[in-house]
Structure 1
Amino acid sequence: MLPIVAVIGPDPASSTVIDTATEWGSVEAATWIERAELYGPHDDPIEKLVSALRRRGMATGRLGLELGSGRLPHLSPSDLGRLRMLLPDAAFVDASDLLHSVRAIKSQAEINVLRRSANLIVHAFQAVCQSLRPGLTEVEMTRIASSAILEAGGTPDLNPTVLIFMAGSQRYRAPLLPATERPVGRDELISLDGGCSVQGYHSDFARGAVIGRGSPEVISQFDAVVQALTAAESAIRPGRPVGDAWSAAQVVLDDAGLGDAAVNPINIGHSIGLDHWERPTIARPGSEMGDVRARPGMVLCIEPQVAGAHGDDSWSRGLFLVEDQILVTDSGIEVLTAAFSPQLYVIGGT
Structure 2
Amino acid sequence: MIVFTILEYMNRLAKTKQKMLEQGIEVLLISNPSNMYYLTGYNAWSFYVHQMMVVMVDEDQPIWIGREMDASSVKVSTWIDDHHIIPYPDEYVQSTIKHPMDFVANILQEIGQATRKIGLEMDAHYFTGLCYERLQQGLPNATFKNASTLVNWVRLIKSDEEIVFMRRAANIVEKAMSKAYETVDVGVRECDVAANIYHAQISGLDNFGGDYTSIVPMIPTGKNTSCPHLTWTDKRYKNGDNLTIEIAGCYKRYHTPMARTMVLGTPSQQVSDLSEVVLEGINETLAAIKPGMMAEEVEAVWRKTIAKRGYYKDSRLGYSIGLSFPPDWGEHTVSFRKGDRTVLEPNMTFHLMPGIWYEDYGVEITESIRITENGCELLTNFPRELYKKNPTTDLYIEGNCLIKEDF
Q: Distance in 1 between the 2:90 and 2:243 partners?
A: 49
Q: Distance in 2 between the 1:12 and 1:123 partners?
A: 44
Does the CA contact (< 8 Å) of 2:202 and 2:211 recur in 1? no
- Would the alpha carbon gap of residues 152 and 241 (structure 1) be closer, same or farther in structure 2, given more than 3 Å must change? same
What is the SS of the residue equivalent to 2:220? strand
Counterpart residue number, 1:330: 373
Report which stretch shifted further, 299-308 or 25-34.
Answer: 25-34
Does the CA contact (< 8 Å) of 1:232 and 1:302 recur in 2? no
Query: In structure 2, what residue type is equivalent to 1:93?
Result: K
Q: Distance in 2 between the 1:151 and 1:158 partners?
A: 10
- Would the alpha carbon gap of residues 134 and 81 (structure 1) be closer, same or farther in structure 2, given more than 3 Å must change? same
Report which stretch shifted further, 110-119 or 90-99.
Answer: 110-119
Report which stretch shifted further, 297-306 or 12-21.
Answer: 12-21
Counterpart residue number, 1:195: 248
What is the SS of the residue equivalent to 2:369? strand
Aligned identity (percent) is: 24
- Would the alpha carbon gap of residues 181 and 231 (structure 1) be closer, same or farther in structure 2, given more than 3 Å must change? same
Counterpart residue number, 1:297: 347
Query: In structure 2, what residue type is equivalent to 1:125?
Result: M
Q: Does 1:104 align with 2:159?
A: no
Counterpart residue number, 1:64: 119
Counterpart residue number, 1:311: none
Does the CA contact (< 8 Å) of 1:246 and 1:282 recur in 2? no
Query: In structure 1, what residue type is equivalent to 2:276?
Result: D
Does the CA contact (< 8 Å) of 1:224 and 1:253 recur in 2? yes
Question: Any residues of structure 2 matched to 1:279-298 within 5 Å, and which?
Answer: 279-285=332-338, 287=339, 290-298=340-348
Q: Does 1:116 align with 2:168?
A: yes
1:306, CA displacement in angstroms? 1.4
1:88, CA displacement in angstroms? 2.0
1:233, CA displacement in angstroms? 2.2
Q: Show CA shifts across 1:182-239 (max 9, x none).
A: 2223333221112243322333210111233223332221011012122222332222
Cα RMSD (Å): 2.5
Q: Distance in 1 between the 2:91 and 2:61 partners?
A: 26
1:20, CA displacement in angstroms? 1.9
Q: Distance in 1 between the 2:286 and 2:75 partners?
A: 38
- Using the size of structure 2 for normalisation, the TM-score is 0.74
Q: Which of 230, 234, 240 lines up with 2:293 in the alignment?
A: 240
Consecutive unaligned residues in structure 2, runs of 5 or more: 1-47, 93-97, 392-406
Q: Which of 377, 380, 388 lines up with 1:346 in the alignment?
A: 388
Q: Distance in 2 between the 1:174 and 1:85 partners?
A: 42
Q: Show CA shifts across 1:56-84 (max 9, x none).
A: 4422231111113xx23x34323322221
Q: Distance in 2 between the 1:213 and 1:225 partners?
A: 19
Q: Does 1:2 align with 2:49?
A: yes
Report which stretch shifted further, 290-299 or 228-237.
Answer: 228-237
Report which stretch shifted further, 328-337 or 21-30.
Answer: 21-30
1:252, CA displacement in angstroms? 1.7
Does the CA contact (< 8 Å) of 1:121 and 1:149 recur in 2? yes
Consecutive unaligned residues in structure 1, runs of 5 or more: 309-313
Q: Does 1:138 align with 2:190?
A: yes
Query: In structure 2, what residue type is equivalent to 1:231?
Result: E
Counterpart residue number, 2:4: none
Counterpart residue number, 1:17: 64
Aligned length: 331
What is the SS of the residue equivalent to 2:217? strand
Q: Distance in 2 between the 1:294 and 1:331 partners?
A: 11
Query: In structure 1, what residue type is equivalent to 2:343?
Result: R
1:126, CA displacement in angstroms? 1.1
Query: In structure 2, what residue type is equivalent to 1:50?
Result: A
Does the CA contact (< 8 Å) of 1:160 and 1:196 recur in 2? no
Does the CA contact (< 8 Å) of 1:163 and 1:194 recur in 2? yes
- Would the alpha carbon gap of residues 200 and 258 (structure 1) be closer, same or farther in structure 2, given more than 3 Å must change? same
Q: Distance in 2 between the 1:295 and 1:270 partners?
A: 14
1:158, CA displacement in angstroms? 5.8
